[in-house]
């Protein structure tokens, strides 16, 4: 069974369901003649579905990259201080220049995310090499510390509401046409990473190997850092951080396909999209007509998957 076509089919099916599920009744068979239904689909359902797919795919790819950057399987963009960095950048620009245009906010969020992720990389480099599990612990604590700064600033400046949506919602219910397009940047950044897939795969083998193969590790690191930060910043700005996707999906795919990123990255992206879309659907269905944010469901499902990954017998190495 080849994973790519299977996942592709699953994603298509889920997208169809996603477009037809919601508060308003929409029958896809009569949609061409039903003007109102068409409006619902084009303005709300389709944008939401696309937003979910882009988010899942981009975050999973970002997960692969950050794992290659720190050479540790147990980290993700949500446990590396990246999301908190993006929130800090957004806060700063909101406070300093409340009327700032969107592109400036994006740049501020991405730049700050890059800075805090670089800080995480610096911390990791100073950890004892053999202790695999210390890297995720350091990431979690760094995220916690940065998070408390964000909370503090948010409190002081009466922006707690925003902080809440950035860091702990992971909710797609607010997505309508015109309010999610930033996520395309995340998708594009993730797609760019695929062109350098081989470099990231080599980077994951270690500095010695990378240098031996004539790879400029610094350049690849910078590229990875940029992609991870941009993806995370866009997700944080638009729908709020989604936990565990970037951590769990790369692990699951690597178990089946190994770490040849050129072939596995597309699968990672598809799998991430399927996972987040499934969680978003579950969140829409479980207490209809109300919703549970996809981020909350992923918090549960992702944690369980992570614990399983942590405690299973090692399959390789």
Chain residues binding another protein by CB under 8 A are 74, 123, 126-128, 131-134, 136-138, 140-142, 144-145, 148-149, 151-152, 155-156, 160, 164, 168, 243, 286-287, 290-293, 296-297, 299-300, 303-304, 306-307, 310-311, 313
Looking at the Cβ atoms of 96 and 129, the one nearer to another protein is: 129
- CA 187 to CA 165: how far, in whole Å? 21
Looking at the Cβ atoms of 102 and 141, the one nearer to another protein is: 141
Looking at the Cβ atoms of 21 and 134, the one nearer to another protein is: 134
Q: How far is the CB of 280 from another protein (least distance, A)?
A: 14
Q: Is the Cα dihedral 100, 104, 106, 109 positive or negative?
A: negative
Q: How far is the CB of 317 from another protein (least distance, A)?
A: 15
Looking at the Cβ atoms of 136 and 187, the one nearer to another protein is: 136
Q: What is the radius of gyration, based on Cα positions, of the chain? A: 19
- CA 242 to CA 30: how far, in whole Å? 35
DSSP 8-class letter at 41: I
Q: How far is the CB of 215 from another protein (least distance, A)?
A: 28
Q: How far is the CB of 188 from another protein (least distance, A)?
A: 30
Neighbours of 182 (CB within 10 A): 20
Q: How far is the CB of 244 from another protein (least distance, A)?
A: 8
Looking at the Cβ atoms of 134 and 191, the one nearer to another protein is: 134
Looking at the Cβ atoms of 38 and 134, the one nearer to another protein is: 134
Looking at the Cβ atoms of 90 and 297, the one nearer to another protein is: 297
> 216 and 145 in contact (C-beta within 8 Å)?
no
Q: How far is the CB of 134 from another protein (least distance, A)?
A: 6
Question: Which long-range contacts (C-beta less than 8 Å, at least 24 apart) are formed by 199-207?
Answer: 199/223, 200/64, 200/65, 200/68, 200/224, 200/261, 201/68, 201/259, 201/260, 201/261, 201/262, 203/68, 203/69, 204/67, 204/68, 204/71, 204/259, 204/261, 206/71
DSSP 8-class letter at 313: P
**236: nearest Cα among 47, 45, 84:** 84
Q: How far is the CB of 183 from another protein (least distance, A)?
A: 22
> 280 and 172 in contact (C-beta within 8 Å)?
yes
């Amino acid at each position: 069974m080849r994973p790519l076509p299977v996942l592709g089919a699953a994603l298509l099916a889920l997208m169809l369901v996603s477009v037809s599920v919601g508060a308003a009744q929409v029958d896809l068979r009569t949609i061409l003649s039903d003007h109102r239904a068409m409006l619902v689909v084009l303005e709300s359902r389709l944008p939401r579905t696309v937003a979910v797919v882009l988010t899942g795919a981009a975050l999973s790819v970002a997960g692969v990259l950050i794992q290659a950057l720190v050479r540790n399987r147990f980290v993700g963009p949500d446990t590396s201080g990246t999301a908190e960095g993006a929130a800090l950048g957004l806060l700063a620009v909101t406070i300093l220049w409340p009327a700032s245009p969107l592109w400036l906010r994006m740049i501020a969020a991405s730049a700050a995310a890059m800075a805090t992720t670089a800080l995480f990389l610096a911390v990791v480099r100073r950890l004892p090499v053999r202790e695999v599990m210390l890297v995720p612990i350091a990431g979690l604590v760094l995220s916690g510390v940065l998070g408390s700064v964000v909370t503090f600033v948010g409190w002081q400046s009466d922006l707690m509401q925003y902080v809440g949506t950035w860091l702990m919602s992971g909710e797609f219910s607010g997505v309508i046409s015109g309010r999610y397009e930033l996520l395309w940047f995340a998708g594009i950044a993730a797609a760019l990473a695929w062109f350098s897939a081989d470099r990231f795969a080599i980077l994951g083998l270690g500095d010695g190997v990378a240098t031996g193969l004539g790879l400029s590790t610094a350049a690849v690191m910078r590229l990875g850092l940029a992609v991870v930060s941009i993806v995370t910043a866009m997700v944080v700005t638009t729908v709020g951080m989604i936990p565990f996707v970037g951590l769990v999906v790369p692990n699951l795919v690597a178990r089946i396909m190994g770490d040849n990123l050129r072939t596995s990255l597309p699968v990672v992206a598809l799998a991430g999209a399927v996972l987040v879309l499934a969680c978003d659907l579950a969140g829409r269905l479980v207490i209809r007509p109300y919703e549970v944010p996809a981020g909350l469901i992923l918090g549960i499902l992702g944690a369980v998957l992570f614990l399983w990954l942590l405690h299973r017998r090692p399959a390789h190495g």
